[in-house]
Amino acid sequence: MIEQTTIKKLSETSNLTDIELKELLENDFLDEELYREADRVRKENYGTDVYIRGLIEFTNYCKNNCYYCGLRYENREIERYRLSKEDILNCCNEGYNLGFRTFVLQGGEDPFYTDEKLCDIISSIKNLYSDIAVTLSIGEKKDESYLAFKKAGADRYLLRHETANENHYSKLHPANMSLANRKNCLKTLKKLGYQIGSGFMVGSPFQTTENIIEDIRFLQELSPDMIGIGPYITHHNTPFKNQKNGDVKLTLKLISILRLMFPYALLPATTALGTLSPNGRELGLKVGANVVMPNLSPKNVRKKYEIYENKICTGEESAQCKRCLERRIESIGYKIIISKGDVKRK
Ligand code: SAM
Ligand code: SF4
Ligand code: FES
Structural domains for the chain: 46-247+270-282+289-337 (3.20.20.70)
Output the CA 296–ligand 1 centroid distance in Å: 17
Q: What is the pLDDT of residue 139?
A: 98
Which atom from ligand 2 is nearest to the alpha carbon of 72?
Answer: 6
pTM over 0.95: yes
Asked if residue 337 has its Cβ within 6 Å of ligand 3, the reply is no
Alpha-carbon distance of 344 to 346, in angstroms, equals 6
Output the CA 308–ligand 2 centroid distance in Å: 11
Q: Whose CA is nearest to atom 4 of ligand 2?
A: 66
Q: Is 243 left (phi over 0), alpha (psi -120 to 50) or beta?
A: beta
Alpha-carbon distance of 196 to 225, in angstroms, equals 6
Residue ranges in the chain modelled with pLDDT below 50: none
Q: What is the pLDDT of residue 204?
A: 98
Q: What is the pLDDT of residue 291?
A: 98
Q: What is the pLDDT of residues 268-300, one digit of tens each?
A: 999 999 999 999 999 999 999 999 999 999 999
